[in-house]
Amino acid sequence: MAGHSKWAQIKHKKAKVDARRGKIFNKIIREITVAARLGGGNPEFNPRLRLAIEKAKEVNMPWENIERAIKRGTGELEGAHYEQVVYEGYGPGGVAIMVVAYTDNKNRTAGEIRHIFSKHGGNMAGVGSVAWQFEEKGVIYVEKDKVDEETIFEIAV
């Protein structure tokens, strides 16, 4: 029975689960880092950071990872510098759209967002051109791997 071990059967499933968990952790770490940068590292005085920490606890993220993300956000540790950016534009039929993203490279993200707008018959607009039409009521999170671009666009509209 050469090559027949329990680990050989488990490692493929474990790799998939670990990859999925890693993506979720990275997303939450970015949120924590940006929240700490914008409002400080104390969750008692920073509601955005408090919510991000609650999300991290819901997915069983180790506390060391949370602390490291907070320190990176407050500047105590070096690391990737994530920023929140807002893009505005018009979709098909002149529908106003605002996109909020976390990125470490604004130029790359702007190009990707511009490409998505043009691919679906829309165009990017200048800062403040559609923001006046919106009042923030909530946030919709969509996992990229679970749905295609067309479904995401329909949800957004």
Q: pLDDT digit string (tens) for 40-56? A: 888 998 899 999 999 99
> What Rg do the C-alpha atoms of the chain give, in angstroms?
19
Residue 25 pLDDT class (50, 70, 90 cuts):
very high
53/98 same-domain check: no
Residue type, 102: Y
Q: Which domain holds residue 142?
A: 83-156
CA 110 to chain centre: 15
Domain membership of residue 1 (yes or no) is no
pLDDT tens readout for residues 94-153? 899 998 888 888 898 899 999 999 999 999 988 888 888 888 777 766 666 677 777 777
52/117 same-domain check: no
91/67 same-domain check: no
Rounded CA-CA distance 63/8 in Å is 31
**Predicted pLDDT of residue 9:** 82
Residue 24 pLDDT class (50, 70, 90 cuts):
very high
- Sheet of strand 96-103, all strands in order from the earlier edge strand to the far edge: 96-103, 83-90, 123-125
